Structure 1
Amino acid sequence: MKLSSRVSWFLLAFGVWSWIIWITFVKNLWKDGSGLAFDDAGDPTAYFWVHLTLAVVSFLLGTGVGLIGFRSVRRLREEAAGDAAAVGSRTANE
């Protein structure tokens, strides 16, 4: 399946956004001082594990979506370069 340039760039941007958001989220979760993520003894709570799982799964899905967008953008650029080279060789032969 061939994706449009707009969709390809959106998917790539979504992947980058996921990296920024979910890595930041995990850092903040790890430093949580409100008592939600860690109990008084410093042990992780169920809140911590649920949100860490959510973050890891979302990060992996975002990475997959970003890779699809990256591959599609790269393919579109290669096709555009190939088309430009074909046009250039046709005009040189005429």
Structure 2
Amino acid sequence: MFLLAFGVWSWIIWITFARNLWASANAWHPDGSPTSFFVVHAVLAVVSFVLGTAIGVIGWRGWRASRKPRS
């Protein structure tokens, strides 16, 4: 359950972070191109989404396996 909860928590936190990053004045140059601040934090968010998803899937599979009757 911990791994499943971590996966869900990760998505909630990083979606909020990504929205705030997109709206940040530090994320964009005046010409509309992304700053290095944006690129670094966008990569961080994407990696965190992937890892949070993988951890959540592991947690989901473990939870389902623990609920199956043993033969």
Q: Spell out, residue by residue over 1:27-58, the C-alpha distance to the aligned partner (whole angstroms, 9 max, x if none).
A: 1111113xx21112221101100000000001
Matched with 2:20 is: 28
Distance in 2 (CA, whole Å) between partners of 1:37 and 1:56 is: 16
Whose RCO is larger (CA < 8 A, sep 6+)? 2
Aligned counterpart for 2:38 among listed residues 48, 68, 92:
48
Matched with 2:3 is: 11
Q: Spell out, residue by residue over 1:39-78, the C-alpha distance to the aligned partner (whole angstroms, 9 max, x if none).
A: 1222110110000000000110010001000000011011
CA RMSD of aligned residues (A): 1.3
Count matched residues.
71
Query: Normalising to structure 1: TM-score of the pair?
Result: 0.71
User: Unmatched 5+ residue regions in structure 1?
Assistant: 1-8, 87-94
Query: Normalising to structure 2: TM-score of the pair?
Result: 0.92
Moved over 2 A (4+): none
